[in-house]
Amino acid sequence: MNTNSNVYTVVYSTVIVVIVAAILAFAAQALKPKQDANIKADTISQMLTAAQFASKEDLAKIGNDAVLAEYSKYIKEAFTVNAQGQKVRDLDLASREIADNLHAQNTNLKKGNDLELPVYIFDQNGKPVTVVPVYGAGLWGPVWGYIAFKDDLKTVAGAYFDHESETPGLGAKIKDDPEFRAKFVGKIAAWGSDKVLSILKGASQNNEVDAITGATMTSKGLSGAIETWLNAYKPYFSANATTKNKCNCGEFCPCGEACECDCHCTPGQTQCNCPDCPCENCPTGSHKMEE
């Protein structure tokens, strides 16, 4: 064959491309189990960090197998729920099955499609800690994370967030700045409001976290992700929260505090009288209920 001909050049190039493609495909297939293991360990590390079992940095040092062992040690229940807060299926604890399709579920949330939202319940010193994910759009790409709630299902035990491409030193602080994540600890989810837990400048309420200075768009994106996902989880939390966090009408006290007073209202009311309300953020006798 004439090595200087166009035919030779085309055939030679085609063979090289096929060989390289085959090598890359083989390498990708061979590395996939390791990549999947890394993703699972990283996701579990984020959940364990949110639940305050350890820091992400310390978990990264002990390796994947040890991280999975820590997960098995503390996890008690893992399952998915639908838009009505009803359990759809159990996640296999033996295989440490996790739901890592947050992007797909976020699309389902926006389109109103069937949901399978993951719920992870850990045991921490004999008390349950419930961890749920959030996912949304930051300034330059997706942002996501996990928020942990104490046994009352309203007090935030901790949080961890990550991102794909937020600006270093600004938006990237949602992951890199432990002081930002620490602001979530002790916050109270206002399940009676659409703004269950928000990030904004000048935060002053129990369900508000102060935004990152200089990272307005990332803060707004993460806040939107948190509000969207926690609203989707509201039916589950509403059905499983302790009764002392509800008024007698069955609605959550919108200020997020325990409401144990004699509070009566009916669906559709926007006010209910609560003269002995212990909530510091609610005017006496004027609880504004969700319509």
pLDDT digits (tens, 9 = 90+) for 48-77: 999 999 999 999 999 999 999 999 999 999
Tokens of residue 18, six digits: 């096929």
To 5 degrees, how large is the angle CA 257–CA 262–CA 265? 90
Do 232 and 167 form a contact (C-beta atoms < 8 A)?
Answer: no
- Residue ranges of domains in the chain: 38-241, 247-291
In eight-state DSSP terms, residue 62 is: H
| pLDDT tens column, 78-137 | 999 999 999 999 999 999 999 888 999 999 988 888 899 999 999 999 999 999 999 999
N-term to C-term CA, the chain: 81
Cβ atoms 221, 136 nearer than 8 A: yes
Q: Is the dihedral of CA 46, 52, 55, 61 positive or negative?
A: negative
Backbone angles phi, psi at 193, to 5 degrees: -130, 155
Predicted confidence (pLDDT) per residue in 234-265, tens digit: 999 988 876 445 554 555 554 444 454 445 44
